[in-house]
Structure 1
Amino acid sequence: MKALSITRPWVELILRGKDVENRTWNTRHRGLFLLHAAQSWKSEALAFADMVAPDALVGLPTSRDDHPTGIVGVAEIASVCSNEMDEFGDGETWAPCRCGRWAMAGQYHWRLARVRRLPRPVPCRGALGLWTPPEDVTALVLAQLGQVAQ
């Protein structure tokens, strides 16, 4: 099982319906992965969400102290869109794709499906890229998945 560390509050926005994870790199991984809420915090995520999906902010705590870290959920990578291309090689002219309101220009759009929040975050240190969590962490997550509505 793989995991992806995601800066807070982006990971919470995924748990609330953000269906695209924007990355500068592609992946061949498809299927289930763990959502790891990193220690880091980007308040810009709240401003972006306010522009594209203000409904996602309803009831969302704005303090980093109110957002847990560790493994907080699971999701599936259904596909990756790289259709947003630099048309002229100038780094400025990007052709639009149809990945929706969360898709950012110049990024790979990891299209997410079947996102599920864990009842309780599982403490775990994160890492860069897609990484493999310790077996005991994976076991705790899998035990909780039996309690989460499919």
Structure 2
Amino acid sequence: MQHPDHDLIALGIRQPWVELILRGAKTIEVRSTGTRVRGPIYLYASKKPAKIPAARAAARRFDLDWETLPMGQIVGTVEIIDAARCEPHDARSACLPRSLVRDMWGWRLANPVRLSEPLEPRFLPYGVWFYPYRRRNGRPD
């Protein structure tokens, strides 16, 4: 795959979750709704880190240096292979406590690939999903 790919949609995710996805430790992204998106997507590391205590705990557990995690950049790709309601046992794959997966959706992830160099998006997020290298109307930059 050549980057940047104008047709690839991006998902904004806060750190340290993006880093854990790229390392293959986090294979379920927890969201309040399901998704029909399947296949490869860009991973955009949001400009702000996650604020919940579980994020700091996960960073410590996986020995991540919070201060050096990239933010505000496209850092890799991952495939969404399924989406289903979370079960308590999904907490481990989501790197979250069980209480945070209750009544949530789990987007199953596979084949994470870290870009050799992070990319600057041409267009910034305007929602959960966004196209970093083309306008909303579908025209490339």
1:7 match: 14
Cα drift, residue 22 of structure 1: 0.6
Q: Is the 8 A contact 1:5 1:127 kept in 2?
A: no
- Match of 2:125, SS state, is coil
Q: How does 1:20-31 map to 2 (within 5 A)?
A: 20-31=28-39
Q: Hey, what does 2:56 align to over in structure 1?
A: 46
Structure 1 residue aligned with 2:109: 112
Q: How many residues align?
A: 116
Q: 1:49 to 1:20 in 2, by over 3 A?
A: farther
**Aligned partners of 1:42, 1:100: CA distance in 2, in Å?**
17
CA distance in 2, matches of 1:48, 1:107: 19
Q: Measure, in 1, the Cα distance between the counterparts of 2:117 and 2:76.
A: 9
Question: What aligned pairs does 1:56-67 form with structure 2 within 5 A after superposition?
Answer: 57-58=62-63, 60-63=64-67, 66-67=68-69
| RMSD between aligned residues | 2.1
Unaligned stretches of 5+ in structure 2? 1-7, 95-100, 135-141
Candidates 90, 99, 105, aligned match of 2:90: 99
Residue from 95, 120, 124 that aligns with 1:123: 120
Structure 1, gaps ≥5 residues long:
85-95, 136-150
Normalised TM-score (structure 2): 0.72
Code of the residue aligned with 1:22 in structure 2: it is V
Report the structure number with the largest CA radius of gyration: 1
Residue identity over aligned pairs, in percent, reads 36
Q: Please give the TM-score of this superposition, normalised by the length of structure 1.
A: 0.68
**2:42 aligns to what?**
34
